Amino acid sequence: RDPDFFARTYGIRGIEEKTKLVFLGRLTPDKGWEFTLRSLTLWADDPQNASLKDNVAILIAGDGDLRTRIMHELQPLGLSVHLLGRIDPAAVPPLLANSDIHITTSEKETLGLTILEAFAAGIPAIAPAEGGVTTHIRDGENGLLFEPQNAQSFGQALTRLVSDRRLQHQLGKQAQQDVAAYDWESVVLTLLSTWQEQILR
């Protein structure tokens, strides 16, 4: 982690001490952005979250048809929002490593590769209890799951993790340990073993 990473890499200043929420992927409806915008609006408008809202920076890496709408709807909420645009794959690991929480609201992920990337960077994830991400996230152990399409459930997960730095570190550490099972050597050996079993049948 580099305290000057965002200033040096993206020209973003003043977020060093904030909890950095990172969204990674296409800015398209299939990635759950309708729900994200609705849920973040409700969360930011809740007076109980006023102090948390001031301590959060939202970083969105990706591009797509909803880019203008996302900025238009999030800016008035008083949140620190930064659209990074589409970034090179090589820029993903340092972005995640210098963020605090990875968030996805997509319910159609088959594997949830960005979840594994976040885990490898040592940060927890918040995601819906739907689709392939549930294979990797153990609620309360290496990340938090919320009820799909339930803005209140999403808001509760977000508040819980944003307000507790210790929990962030605890879940992130466990996530990094869990993702070791997905290193290339392990994956290839598992694949070969599966093929061998099928050949012998």
pLDDT digits (tens, 9 = 90+) for 123-175: 999 999 998 888 889 999 999 999 999 999 999 999 999 999 999 999 999 99
3-state SS class at 130: coil
Nearest to 162, CA basis, from 36, 10, 13, 22: 22
Residue 175 near residue 138, CB atoms below 8 Å: no
Tokens of 174: 């466990």
Quick one: pLDDT at residue 104?
A: 93
Quick one: pLDDT at residue 4?
A: 94
The rounded radius of gyration (Å) of the Cα atoms in the chain is 17
Q: Quick one: CA dihedral 162, 139, 95, 165, positive or negative?
A: positive
Residue 13 near residue 82, CB atoms below 8 Å: no
pTM for the model:
0.89
H or E stretch covering 146: strand 143-146
Dihedral-angle region of residue 2 (phi above 0 means left; psi in -120 to 50 means alpha; beta otherwise): beta
Angstrom distance (rounded) from CA 94 to CA 117 = 11
Quick one: pLDDT at residue 186?
A: 67
Q: Are strands 143-146 and 125-128 parallel, antiparallel or unpaired?
A: parallel
Angstrom distance (rounded) from CA 138 to CA 171 = 10
What are the φ and ψ backbone dihedral angles of 58, each rounded to 5 degrees? -105, 120
Angstrom distance (rounded) from CA 39 to CA 73 = 12
**Mean pLDDT for the chain overall:** 92
| Residue ranges, the chain, pLDDT below 70 | 184, 186-187
Quick one: pLDDT at residue 189?
A: 72
